[in-house]
């Protein structure tokens, strides 16, 4: 495909094999666990997609262990999908899931299909917000007061990027118009009606999201209502104000490695 000018992207069978091989070299038991999960879910394509998401995230962190930016990675189904141990022995608990709209396919050549995508909404069952809340309610993984992170992969080109997830997790993208002049006076995501107002997210420190398998370009949404119990973390959180960041700023667009950053004191730098 490469010689024809096509790009495979990150999600393909070749990368799947390579990622599992790299995980095997780091931890044989975990690699065999992923392989077993894929075999047992071969009749459930959506579940296989979710397992691939977890493999992508796990494999990324193995690189950071080898580079000395992180101490270890663990899996414990009773706790969460992945547990990241940092150099200072603090832990981050990652719950990974994959979002992909249920798109219709043409039943015959030339058929026109109208897709109804609702991932960007707030109350629809197919929205990213409701999918996350159902996952929290069902699995009970975010019921402990610790550094919990939801890791969401946007696994379709129709929802990739920022809009779908930011629109769904906020109150939507809104435009304010002066009714007298009919000119736009303000626009943006309404974070006053965010998912973090839901009681089930009180132990969720943040949301990490990425598109189409590219975890290296992940972005972070900080939960401003999360209360840290660690004194160091409290000091870190307070330093937002010294950096001139307003308390209403929910979204941090961080594209590079979020571990080991030495510039600034953002909580996201340690994930």
In the predicted structure, residue 249 carries a pLDDT above the cut 80: no
Long-range CB pairs of 251-258, under 8 A, 24+ apart, other chains included: 251/166, 251/189, 251/219, 251/220, 251/221, 251/222, 252/219, 252/220, 252/221, 252/222, 253/162, 253/219, 254/218, 254/219, 254/220, 255/217, 255/218, 255/219, 256/216, 257/64, 257/69, 257/216, 258/218, 258/220
172 Cβ contact partners less than 8 Å away, ≥ 6 residues apart: 120, 121, 122, 189, 190, 193
pLDDT band at 141 (very low <50, low <70, confident <90, very high): confident
What pLDDT, on the 0 to 100 scale, is given for residue 229?
Answer: 59
Arithmetic mean of pLDDT, 151-159 = 93
Arithmetic mean of pLDDT, 165-178 = 94
**Residue of 153, 36, 146 lying closest to 84 (CA atoms):** 146
Q: Give the range among 25-29, 47-51, 102-106, 240-244 with minimum mean pLDDT.
A: 240-244
Average pLDDT, the chain: 82
In the predicted structure, residue 39 carries a pLDDT above the cut 90: yes
In the predicted structure, residue 89 carries a pLDDT above the cut 60: yes
What pLDDT, on the 0 to 100 scale, is given for residue 271?
Answer: 53
Highest mean pLDDT among 54-68, 169-183, 228-242: 54-68
In degrees rounded to 5, what are phi and psi of residue 72?
A: -165, 165
What pLDDT, on the 0 to 100 scale, is given for residue 93?
Answer: 96
38/104: higher pLDDT? 38
pLDDT band at 8 (very low <50, low <70, confident <90, very high): low
Query: What pLDDT, in 10s, does the model give residues 49-76?
Result: 999 999 999 999 999 999 999 999 999 9
In the predicted structure, residue 234 carries a pLDDT above the cut 90: no
Q: Give the range among 5-19, 23-37, 43-57, 235-249 with minimum mean pLDDT.
A: 235-249
6/247: higher pLDDT? 6
Long-range CB pairs of 61-64, under 8 A, 24+ apart, other chains included: 62/22, 62/23, 62/26, 64/257, 64/259, 64/260
pLDDT band at 259 (very low <50, low <70, confident <90, very high): very low
Measured distance CA(138)–CA(243) in Å, rounded: 38
Model's pTM, two decimal places? Answer: 0.79
């Amino acid at each position: 495909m490469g010689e024809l000018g096509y790009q495979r992207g990150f999600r393909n069978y070749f990368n799947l094999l390579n990622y599992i091989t790299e995980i095997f070299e780091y931890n044989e038991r975990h690699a065999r666990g992923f392989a077993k999960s894929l075999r047992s879910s071969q009749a459930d394509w959506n579940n296989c997609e979710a397992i691939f998401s977890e493999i992508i995230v796990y494999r990324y962190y193995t690189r950071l262990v080898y580079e000395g930016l992180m101490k270890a990675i663990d899996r414990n189904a009773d706790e969460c999908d992945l547990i990241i141990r940092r150099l200072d022995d603090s832990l981050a608990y990652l719950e990974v899931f994959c979002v992909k709209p249920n798109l219709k396919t043409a039943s015959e050549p030339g058929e026109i299909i109208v897709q109804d995508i609702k991932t960007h909404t707030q109350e629809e069952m197919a929205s990213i917000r409701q999918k996350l809340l159902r996952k929290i309610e069902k699995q009970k993984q975010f019921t402990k007061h610790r550094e919990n992170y939801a890791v969401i992969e946007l696994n379709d080109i129709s929802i990739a990027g920022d809009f779908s997830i930011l629109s769904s997790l906020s109150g939507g993208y809104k435009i304010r118009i002066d009714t007298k002049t009919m000119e736009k006076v303000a626009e943006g995501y309404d974070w006053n009606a965010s998912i973090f107002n839901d009681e089930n997210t009180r132990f969720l420190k943040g949301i990490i999201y990425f598109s189409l398998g590219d975890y290296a370009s992940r972005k972070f949404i900080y939960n401003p209502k999360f209360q840290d119990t660690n004194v160091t973390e409290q000091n870190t959180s307070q330093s937002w104000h010294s950096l001139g960041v307003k308390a209403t700023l929910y979204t941090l667009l961080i594209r590079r490695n979020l571990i080991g950053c030495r510039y600034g004191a953002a909580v996201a730098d340690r994930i």
